[in-house]
Structure 1
Amino acid sequence: MRLDKFICKSTELTRNEAKKMLKSGEVRVNGEVAKNAAMQVHENNTITIDGQELTARGSRYFILHKVVDSICSNVDEVYPSVLNFIEVDKAFDLHIAGRLDADTTGLVLITDDGRWSHNVISPKKQCEKTYRVWLRNEIDDEKLPALVERFEQGLQLQGEDSLTRPAILTRVAEADLVDEESYRSEVLLTITEGKYHQVKRMFAAVGNRVVGLHREQIGGITLGDLAPGEWRELSEAEIALFAS
Structure 2
Amino acid sequence: MKLVKLIANLGYGSRKDVALMFREGRITDPDGEVLYADDKVPHEHIRVDDEPLDPPAGLLLVMNKPLGATCSRKDQGRVVYDLLPPRYRVRDPALSTVGRLDRDTSGLLLFTDDGALLHRIISPKAQVAKVYEATLAHDLRGDEAALFASGTMMLESETDPLEPAVLQVLAPRRARLTLTEGRYHQVRRMFAAVGNHVETLTRVAVGGLTLGDLAPGEWRALSAHEISRVFDAPAVD
Q: Same fold by TM-score, threshold 0.5 exceeded?
A: yes
Matched residue SS, 1:151: helix
Q: Give the Cα–Cα distance (whole angstroms) in 1 for the partners of residues 79 and 156 of structure 2.
A: 29
| 1:233 equivalent in alignment to 2:221 | yes
TM-fit CA distance, 1:122: 1.5
TM-fit CA distance, 1:241: 3.9
Q: Contact 1:119–1:242 (CA<8 Å) still a contact in 2?
A: no
**How far does the alpha carbon of each residue in 1:187-226 deviate from its partner, in whole angstroms, 9 at most, with x for none?**
0000000001111111111111111100000001100111
Tell me what 1:44 maps to: none
Q: Contact 1:136–1:210 (CA<8 Å) still a contact in 2?
A: yes
Q: TM-score, normalised by structure 2?
A: 0.70
* Superposition misfits of 4+ residues, deviation over 4 angstroms: 8-14
TM-fit CA distance, 1:11: 4.9
Matched residue SS, 1:89: helix
Tell me what 1:147 maps to: 144
Matched residue SS, 1:80: coil
Q: Give the Cα–Cα distance (whole angstroms) in 2 for the partners of residues 214 and 202 of structure 1.
A: 15
Tell me what 1:123 maps to: 124
Tell me what 1:208 maps to: 196
| 1:68 equivalent in alignment to 2:67 | yes
- In structure 2, relative to structure 1, the CA distance for the partners of 1:212 and 1:59 (3 Å cut) is same
Tell me what 1:198 maps to: 186
Tell me what 1:167 maps to: 165
Q: Contact 1:134–1:187 (CA<8 Å) still a contact in 2?
A: yes
Amino acid at match of 2:211: L
Aligned pairs for 1:1-244 (under 5 A) are 11-12=8-9, 57-75=56-74, 77-87=75-85, 89-91=87-89, 93-140=94-141, 144=142, 146-154=143-151, 155-174=153-172, 185-241=173-229
Matched residue SS, 1:212: strand
Q: Give the Cα–Cα distance (whole angstroms) in 1 for the partners of residues 133 and 109 of structure 2.
A: 14
Q: Contact 1:116–1:242 (CA<8 Å) still a contact in 2?
A: no
Q: Give the Cα–Cα distance (whole angstroms) in 1 for the partners of residues 176 and 76 of structure 2.
A: 29
Matched residue SS, 1:70: coil
Q: Contact 1:74–1:95 (CA<8 Å) still a contact in 2?
A: no
Kindly tell me the number of residue pairs found equivalent between the two proteins. Answer: 180
Matched residue SS, 1:105: strand
Amino acid at match of 1:128: A
Tell me what 2:48 maps to: none
- In structure 2, relative to structure 1, the CA distance for the partners of 1:13 and 1:96 (3 Å cut) is closer
TM-fit CA distance, 1:71: 0.4
TM-fit CA distance, 1:87: 2.0
Percent identity over the alignment is: 41
Q: Give the Cα–Cα distance (whole angstroms) in 2 for the partners of residues 167 and 232 of structure 1.
A: 29
Q: Which runs of 5+ in 1 are unaligned?
A: 1-7, 18-56, 175-184
TM-fit CA distance, 1:80: 1.7
Tell me what 2:39 maps to: none
Q: Which runs of 5+ in 2 are unaligned?
A: 15-55, 232-237
Matched residue SS, 2:87: coil
Q: TM-score, normalised by structure 1?
A: 0.68
Q: Give the Cα–Cα distance (whole angstroms) in 2 for the partners of residues 117 and 13 of structure 1.
A: 19
- In structure 2, relative to structure 1, the CA distance for the partners of 1:124 and 1:72 (3 Å cut) is same
Amino acid at match of 1:148: A
**How far does the alpha carbon of each residue in 1:217-243 deviate from its partner, in whole angstroms, 9 at most, with x for none?**
000110011101100111210223458
